[in-house]
Amino acid sequence: MLRKAGRAKAVGPIGAAAHEQGVYQLLRSWRELSPEGPVRLAKATSNLFRPRDRAQRGLDVSGLAGVISVDPVARTADVQGMCTYETLVDVTLAYGLMPLVVPQLRTITLGGAVTGLGIEATSFRNGLPHESVLEMDVLTGSGEIVTADPEGPHADLFDAFPNSYGSLGYAVRLRIALQPIGTHVSTRNLRFTDLGELAEVVDAVCRTGAHDGVRVDGLDGVVFGPGDAVLVLATFDGIDGAPTGSATPSDYVDGIYYQSLRDRATDRLTAHDYLWRWDTDWFWCSSAFGVQDPRIRRLWPRSLRRSDVYHRIVGLENRFHIAAGIDRRRGLPDRERVVQDVEVPLGRLVEFVDWYLDNVPMTPIWLCPLRLREPAGPGSARSWPLYPLVPGEVYVNVGFWGTVAIEPRRSDGDVNRAIEARVSELDGHKSLYSDVYYDRATFDRLYGTAALDAVRERYDPTQRLTHLYDKVAN
């Protein structure tokens, strides 16, 4: 019997026949594309913060947006590549399960998170979303769908697919591991004036999986400014002996989640609302649209308080530059978009944040610890050549999203270039969903393009798909 958790929708798997129809539509649209034209997905939404080419037509993925099946005993799900995490979570929560990592924004697709990376508070235990993939069907540049898994004949494609951003093909079906989640999640919000002390707690939680004797299932935090940070420790109620809370769950569709972290030492949310706690206000970026003003918030429908709505507004601004034009008429300087997620080793976190606070006038910033997922049996964590992280090393994702004024005698892109340089100096990496300024040689060194090119030669011999560097570099 399926049960509903929080405000999850009553949706279910679509079944194998519907999936086969979706694959048929995809392959038909591939055959109809011009051999000389660009290949892209015909999808209505995107979580990328860089321009996309406007192709005349794209691959028909309209039939690939659901959950095919769930095996609650094996704790696995077969999921179509264009299925959003919103849909995926609605299905799995009915079984008391969740994907091992659920990225912060509802309209991120499973295929997108695997080919473009993703992260969330469970990443300190479970790594990145691609590490929970057991096998996947990939439409390659040759127009063939192959099934890739860690040990089979297409293991090279399986390993190189994460962080390839469509340069190796598109995920059509993915089988992923799931984990239990209770109906509610309890959190402890620990405040710090010393970021070094915060880093020590992160290290201890990553080593032991607990804090003050209580299991930790989710771990992330926020730096509000110098000497002002909060670390959030989440525990899934009733899982592996964790206590079950009784407090009335908080509502952060009307309330504003990040603002609560400095006001509340503890909190409790439904499982559904915990997974989407950041989406309602796009972390804190909804303030740019006035939605955090109580007067506007009352008039802004609850159903439209979500990241994809704000993202579409930003897209309109990028096309028509209305706000930028108003600022120029008011004599204000142009602004540089600084929308980035970077990973730095935990031991270098304080160095990076101190540098950031001195050089980038934009807060808050998000902290999310991660490490490569440990194998269930003997052996070391699997490596991923296009986004090489050191097995056993704890990293911290630092996320910051907004704009900064372009100072006199500076150019658009200077702040982003400085961030790239500092991250590299600290042995870190940055995600590629937004602006990228690396020259080709530096990019090749950081993102394993030698391995990428070898796999492209096998699966896309005519180079039908755009190269990774050409897709992401400014």
Predicted confidence at residue 458, as pLDDT, reads: 98
Percent of the chain having pLDDT more than 70? 94
| Residues contacting residue 439 through CB under 8 Å, at least 6 positions apart | none
How many other C-beta atoms are found inside a 10 Å radius of the C-beta of residue 304?
Answer: 10
Mean pLDDT of the chain: 93
Q: Which two tokens stand for residue 447?
A: 């993102």
Q: Does domain 184-430 sit in CATH 3.40.462? A: yes
Classify domain 16-181+461-472 by CATH architecture.
Answer: 2-Layer Sandwich (3.30)
Tell me the per-residue pLDDT of 342-353, one tens digit each, with 9 for 90 and over: 999 999 999 999
| Secondary structure of residue 160 in the 3-state scheme | helix
Predicted confidence at residue 323, as pLDDT, reads: 84
Whether residue 415 is predicted with pLDDT greater than 90 in this model: the reply is yes
- Name the band, by pLDDT with cuts 50, 70 and 90, for residue 11: confident
The dihedral built from the CA positions of residue 96, 238, 395 and 364, taken in this order, carries a sign that is: positive
| Secondary structure of residue 96 in the 3-state scheme | coil
Q: Which two tokens stand for residue 147?
A: 């099934």
Predicted confidence at residue 46, as pLDDT, reads: 72
Q: Which two tokens stand for residue 205?
A: 């939680």
Predicted confidence at residue 45, as pLDDT, reads: 66
Predicted confidence at residue 327, as pLDDT, reads: 87
Predicted confidence at residue 2, as pLDDT, reads: 38
- Name the band, by pLDDT with cuts 50, 70 and 90, for residue 317: confident
**Separation CA 149–CA 246 (nearest Å):** 43
Q: In the chain, where are the structural domains located?
A: 16-181+461-472, 184-430
What is the distance in angstroms between the CA of the first residue and the CA of the last residue of the chain?
51
Percent of the chain having pLDDT more than 90? 84
Predicted confidence at residue 380, as pLDDT, reads: 67
pTM of the model: 0.94
**Separation CA 372–CA 375 (nearest Å):** 9
Q: Are 162 and 115 in contact (CB under 8 A)?
A: yes
Mean pLDDT within 77-87: 98
Tell me the per-residue pLDDT of 440-474, one tens digit each, with 9 for 90 and over: 999 999 999 999 999 999 999 999 999 999 999 98
Tell me the per-residue pLDDT of 242-283, one tens digit each, with 9 for 90 and over: 667 778 999 999 999 999 999 999 999 999 999 999 999 999
